[in-house]
Amino acid sequence: MNIRPLQDRILVQPIREKEVRKGGIIIPDSAKDAPTEGRVKAVGPGRIGEDGKRVKPDVKVGDKVLYSKYGGTEVKIDAEDFLLMREDDILGVIDSK
C-alpha cells in the first residue's frame, strides 16, 4: 500500500531517537521548535507557481531530512508511522558522508 502525495507534500518516515543519537545530531529537548530527522519515502509533483508552472520539490526519495517538529500530519501505513508534510516544513537535507 502506497501514498502518492499531492502538490508540494512529502511523505517522511521519522528516524527513531536512538538511531539519531548514534548518527551524531542531537536535538536539545529544551528547544521549542526543535527539528527532527526523517527519511523521505514519497515526493509530490510540486505546487503550481504563480507563473502557472510546477515548482519541483528539492528533495528526493531516500533523502535523510531535518524537519520542523510541528509540521505535517501523522498517518499510519501497514502499522508504521509516517508524516505527510509540505516541502516548506523540511529545513535541510543531511549528507551523512
CB of 14 to its own copies, least distance (A): 14
What are the φ and ψ backbone dihedral angles of 29, each rounded to 5 degrees?
Answer: -65, -30
Region 33-72 residues binding its own copies, contact defined as CB under 8 A: 33-35, 42, 44-45, 48-53, 55, 58-59, 66, 68
Please tell me the total number of residues recorded for the chain in this structure: 97
Check residue 87 and give left, alpha or beta (phi > 0: left; psi -120 to 50: alpha). alpha
Region 72-91 residues binding its own copies, contact defined as CB under 8 A: 73-79, 84, 87-88, 90-91
Number of residues that bind its own copies (CB under 8 A): 51
3-state secondary structure of 88: helix
3-state secondary structure of 89: helix
Binding residues (CB under 8 A) for its own copies: these are 1-7, 9, 11, 23-28, 31, 33-35, 42, 44-45, 48-53, 55, 58-59, 66, 68, 73-79, 84, 87-88, 90-97
